[in-house]
Amino acid sequence: MSSTDDAVDALARKRLAGAERALSRRPRVTLASTRRAFWRYPSPWMITGFLLAAVAARVVVGDWSWSDLLAPAVFVALFPLVEWVIHVFILHWRPRRIGGVEVDTLLARDHRRHHADPRDVPLVFIPWRALVWVILVAGTAVPLGVGALLGADLPGRLSFVVTLAVVLLTYEWTHYVIHSDYTPRTRLYKAIWRNHRLHHYKNEHYWFSVTTSGTSDRLLGTYPDPATVETSPTAKDLHGVSARP
């Protein structure tokens, strides 16, 4: 191993040790207090409003059947893959020049800021400006357009929208708890927590799952043994953008 590799590994150990010391000095945080803090931010309220509206629309339409479970079940099963694709290709988008114009996005910029300071709580959430568009598209295009093109009936489309809102809220809560001061208690949460910490502190090119651990990452080859992975010098500076001239 070269002196550069030794320096990078030392930096990673220093980061992790610093984070652990900071956590150990803080008062023990309960899940209840973490939950109360979660609702101080706009994103959970926006998604909850969207969820309630979707549930109300589904109840008004009625005509319940077993087909209501089909699209939601498929979506939940595929969500780890969807989450991986969004994380890799949208959140980790590398700014580039196309036709003389630099192409960057709000989501990518905020995600780079999130990696630079994983403890900056507002950056943990989906940016509200982007979330507005997600809700508008999901609440109109899915039930009125996409669902019709796929041949789904209106009740089935609305059930899918309800599921999407639930998944969005679950994602926001899971990501928030991981970056909070709450200490993992259960085996499942410990695995998810460790997976995401490796992504932030060890190497940003692996461990892209957030709400699950080792599902899509295992399938798509981004779940290596941490001991075999070099510590990345750009884990807190995605693509080395801040170091560019």
Spatial distance between the Cα atoms of 240 and 233, rounded to a whole number of angstroms: 9
Spatial distance between the Cα atoms of 196 and 202, rounded to a whole number of angstroms: 10
Spatial distance between the Cα atoms of 112 and 109, rounded to a whole number of angstroms: 5
Spatial distance between the Cα atoms of 230 and 214, rounded to a whole number of angstroms: 19
What stretch of H or E contains 98? strand 96-98
Cα 17 → chain centroid: 24
Structural domain contains residue 52: yes
Cα 242 → chain centroid: 23
Contact 41, 122 (CB under 8 A): yes
Structural domain contains residue 236: no
Structural domain contains residue 58: yes
pLDDT for the residue 71: 78
pLDDT less than 70: residues of the chain: 1-8, 19-27, 142-152, 242-245
Structural domain contains residue 170: yes
pLDDT for the residue 245: 45
Structural domain contains residue 164: yes
Structural domain contains residue 208: no
Reading the block at residue 38, the tokens are 């979660």
Spatial distance between the Cα atoms of 5 and 31, rounded to a whole number of angstroms: 38
Q: How many domains does the chain have?
A: 1
Spatial distance between the Cα atoms of 146 and 10, rounded to a whole number of angstroms: 50
Reading the block at residue 111, the tokens are 């995600």
Spatial distance between the Cα atoms of 126 and 128, rounded to a whole number of angstroms: 6
Cα 5 → chain centroid: 29
- Estimate the crossing angle of helix 31-38 against helix 154-179, to 10 degrees: 120
DSSP 149-173: HTT--HHHHHHHHHHHHHHHHHHHH
Q: Give the domain extent around 102.
A: 3-186
Spatial distance between the Cα atoms of 40 and 45, rounded to a whole number of angstroms: 9
pLDDT for the residue 242: 66
- Estimate the crossing angle of helix 154-179 against helix 42-61, to 10 degrees: 160
